[in-house]
Amino acid sequence: MTAALEVAHLTVALPAGGERTHAVRDVSFAVNRGEIVCLVGESGSGKSVTAQTVMGLLPRTLRPVGAVRLEGEDILLAGEARLRDLRTTRMSMIFQEPMTALNPVMTCGDQVDEVLATHTPLGAAARREKTFAMLRRVGMADAERINAAYPHQLSGGQRQRIMIAMALVLEPVLLIADEPTTALDVTTQAQILKLIQDIQRERGMAVLFITHDFGVVSEIADRVAVLRLGELVELGAMRDVLMRPRHAYTRTLIASVPSMVPRASLRDTSAPVMLRTENLTKVYADGGLFGKRRPVRAAEAVSIEIRRGEALGIVGESGSGKSTVARCIARLIEPTAGRIWLGPDELAAMSGRRLRKHRRRIQIVFQDPYRSLNPRRKVGESIIEGPMNFGLSRAEAVARAAALLEFVRLDRNALERFPQEFSGGQRQRICIARALAMEPELLIADEPVSALDVSVQAQVLRLFADVRKRLGLTMLFITHDLRVAAQVCDTVAVMQRGKVVEHGEVARIFSDPQHAYTRALIEAAPGRHWNFGAFEDAAAGR
Amino acid sequence: MTIEAEDERAVARLAAPQARPTHLGRRLLHHRSVVIGGALVLLMVAIAIFAPLLGTVDPKAIDPAYRNRVPGTEHVIARADGAGTTQTFWMGTDSLGRDVYSRVIYGARVSLIVGVTVALISGSIGLAIGLIAGYLRWVDVVIMRVMDGLMAIPGILLAIGLVAVWGAGLFTVILAIVVPEIPRVVRLVRSIVLTIREEPYVEAAISVGTPVPLILIRHVMPNTFAPMIVQATFVCASAILIEAILSFLGIGIPTDIPTWGNIMAEGRQLFRVYPHTILFPGVFVAVTVLAVNMLGDGLRDAFDPRMAKSI
């Protein structure tokens, strides 16, 4: 039997003059019916280009060489009309961001219906029946309502279900999933992964699943293909690749996955309390001057406490209010009610010049390293801006900046360069240097590694550990990733819908979660039973 | 370790932005409408500056013997020493016997002065107000309602009112055009500020204690430059057009200073018989406005390649 998908010696050259000659070079693999193959790699590895080539979605300027056979038929030789025919009937794709992949002005039902109307001779009634059956199959029991709903009325997970319904309604042989759960919360991710796996088994479908997350790989893959800079470095059964990786790069990648087992805490419970919030509340009043006001309680009565030298992690899904709390404490937004004590000083009621004097003491590192640095200013200017605001001379500030760049392991000539010349990980180091230049008492990190590739993430996390060890800094670490929290934090506060539902030592929370939501979060963490990096053949591959 | 470092470098190279400032100059020169529009604008500026050197005579000189002559008519000027020189009315004469060519050439001065001055004044006032309105939320509501009010004033009506108060003149015309343009600039700047103020690098500047005026100047304002330049060209083009309209209606620049608008106004009555007095200044207005608009379109595409249509 021929494989559902066979990619043979696929090479996609990039236009001349770029930094890389190939997006993908000599990649060969196959996906059989009834099998999920995970294509794993970091950004720039060529995994998305591979998927686009299979779907015939590459920009015209890129000419793939080699062969991509869908049930024996070479897609690279197919014309546009034939490709249109094949898409959704024989092969389908779902994307990372279901909001942009769905048409915002069409109801979800109509979008599924459109697929049927285009590709089948079915009448309206038959199509409607099929649409409803498909909606129910992807877990929308309330098919009536979903059918009539517009994409913006649904949650991210529901939208992804609609995408899956559209992709699978014509029962294709091959489903390509391009990071389908990356934009979703962990609990939703677990459900979507299960749904894909269930339907795949039920129909004996072939799935090419693109991801950067080894947790996800361990949950669903039958086989794994690892890409690095456009080349296939490893291909094998999931257990083999995860337990006995042959290529050094695969080993590095897998070993970079933070463990779910909390790191031993060096917490000093007798240290004085550095930061304390009392019933911190932030309410957003929606609507303008004349609009109706719908208050949104982003954070409600949040009381947390961090001792000197300790790292507190605030963990939660999107919309839980964890960033709101961080931004209130950094006083980037005004808390509606409650108190923030930094040492002996109360910050929540401060404003104007008095607040600016205290700003030095709390510094924040943001999630998106590409937007955290002003692209028009040299890195050095960004770092010395703060110290100079607080009276340092230019020469002193530059000296401090140079020393800090060395501390975050960047060359001091970075001072004279623009942020665009650095990678995401390097920029995050620069942002850390900028925060440290203020000699803060509290460092807030708001999802500082979630935009980074896993190996870079590991480096930045090591840097944070280093900063804490050498400077004894107190930290507030916001993350959605339990693995990261386990490695960085001493105590953890779990937030759900604006409230802290559980607060305690990290080891206790992970081993004995009290609240149902905490349990659900831990339960949903992909690959939580897997001990990444505990290879069976420690000697090989070095 | 070596693998990680290598990968990071590779990713960094891929992430290198496509639109570095160094490429901007080259992109501008390759952009057809920037080149054509820019060349025409430069030509107009040259005409305005070098008007006395372009074979013009006194644009206000009246010659009752040569009224309403068609383009190409030759005119012998008798000099004191008896010798005669020939002058050709390339664009004919108007009903007072003035040389239309000279009037059109000198008219370029007023048009360009009005266009550039209006763009500069409304641009800088609008920028300042827009920055404040976009950044300081509590003044925003007040400022924007005032701007809505200004936008509701019809420009022509305002001009008539101002002329009634101060009399016709360059200053009145510029003021009458600047006032309704300011709200448009304010809206543009404000919308940019509203998106930029959410950028993490602005928040980072707040948390390192940078005072608000410095945040606006250092971090927010540079983002407005590209759209402002584009907007300025459109304001300039519309100011040239409005000045011509106001002068045509007789509420603009007084008739003793030739402008494209009042040249056309004077030719209006005899338009059916002698179309040249309206045709030539009309062509100049049209070409100038077109050129400035082309330049603006081209600059917008060059600053923001995503918006450019493939040429």
Average pLDDT over residues A339-367: 90
pLDDT the model gives residue A269:
82
Closest CA to B219 of B192, B182, B187: B192
CA within 13 Å, CB half, A436: 24
pLDDT the model gives residue A286:
60
> What span, in angstroms and rounded, lies between the C-alpha atoms of A356 and A531?
46
Average pLDDT over residues A338-358: 88
**Residue A362 phi, psi (nearest 5):** -120, 125
> What span, in angstroms and rounded, lies between the C-alpha atoms of A327 and A454?
26
Q: Say yes or no for a CB contact (<8 Å) between A42 and B11.
A: yes
Average pLDDT over residues B197-214: 92
Tokens of A69: 């056979």
- Strand-pairing partners, residue A270, are none
Per DSSP (E only), the strands in B140-180 are none
Q: Say yes or no for a CB contact (<8 Å) between A455 and B7.
A: yes
Tokens of A448: 């500082």
- pLDDT category, B86, cuts 50, 70, 90? confident
Q: Say yes or no for a CB contact (<8 Å) between A456 and B8.
A: yes
- What is the DSSP secondary structure assignment for residue A491, as one 8-state letter? E
Range in A245-249, A262-266, B204-208, B217-221 with the lowest mean pLDDT:
A262-266
Residues 6+ apart with CB under 8 A from B165: none
Question: Chain B: nearest CA to A44, how far in angstroms?
Answer: 6
Quick check: A541 pLDDT over 50? Answer: no
User: Which strand (E) or helix (H) includes residue B85?
Assistant: strand B84-89
- Strand-pairing partners, residue A492, are A313, A504
Specify whether the CB–CB gap between A135 and A109 falls below 8 A: yes
Mutate to test the interface with A, among B208, B210, B214 (most CBs of A within 10 A): B208
Q: Which value does ipTM take for this structure?
A: 0.81
Relative orientation angle of helices B170-196 and B137-151, to the nearest 10 degrees: 140
- pLDDT category, B87, cuts 50, 70, 90? confident
Q: What is the pTM of this model?
A: 0.81
Distances (CA, A) of B280 to A277, A334, B268: 75, 62, 13
Comparing CB atoms, the residue among A229, A366, A376 nearest residue B10 is: A229
pLDDT the model gives residue A351:
82
Closest CA to A283 of A315, A328, A316: A328
- pLDDT category, A378, cuts 50, 70, 90? very high
Q: Who wins on pLDDT, A99 or A33?
A: A33
3-state secondary structure A232-276: EEEEEEHHHHHHCCCCHHHHHHHHCCCCCCCCCCCCCCCCCEEEE
Mean pLDDT of chain A: 89
Task: Collect all residues of chain A within an 8 Å Cβ-Cβ radius of residue B144.
Answer: none
Q: Who wins on pLDDT, B252 or A339?
A: A339
A364 three-state secondary structure? strand
User: Edge-to-edge strand order for the sheet containing A91-94?
Assistant: A91-94, A174-178, A206-211, A36-40, A223-228, A231-237
> What span, in angstroms and rounded, lies between the C-alpha atoms of B179 and B177?
6
Comparing CB atoms, the residue among A248, A377, A424 nearest residue B3 is: A248
Specify whether the CB–CB gap between B186 and B134 falls below 8 A: no
> Which domains, from first to last, does chain A contain?
5-90+173-255 (3.40.50.300), 104-171 (no CATH)
Comparing CB atoms, the residue among B17, B141, B201 nearest residue A420 is: B17
Q: Say yes or no for a CB contact (<8 Å) between B17 and A252.
A: no
Quick check: B1 pLDDT over 80? Answer: no
> What span, in angstroms and rounded, lies between the C-alpha atoms of A445 and A359?
15
Q: Is A106 buried (19+), middle (13-18) or exposed (0-12) by CB count in 10 A?
A: middle
Comparing CB atoms, the residue among A229, A374, A431 nearest residue B219 is: A374
Tokens of A256: 């970079």
Domain boundaries, chain B: 44-60+99-307
Q: Say yes or no for a CB contact (<8 Å) between A364 and B204.
A: yes
Other beta carbons within 10 Å of A227: 25
Q: Who wins on pLDDT, A353 or A290?
A: A353
Distances (CA, A) of B288 to A193, B118, B252, B294: 62, 16, 19, 10
B277-300 residue pLDDT tens: 888 888 998 999 999 989 888 887
- Tell me which architecture the domain covering B44-60+99-307 has in CATH: Orthogonal Bundle (1.10)
Tokens 């409408």 — which residue? B33
Amino acid identity, position A317: E
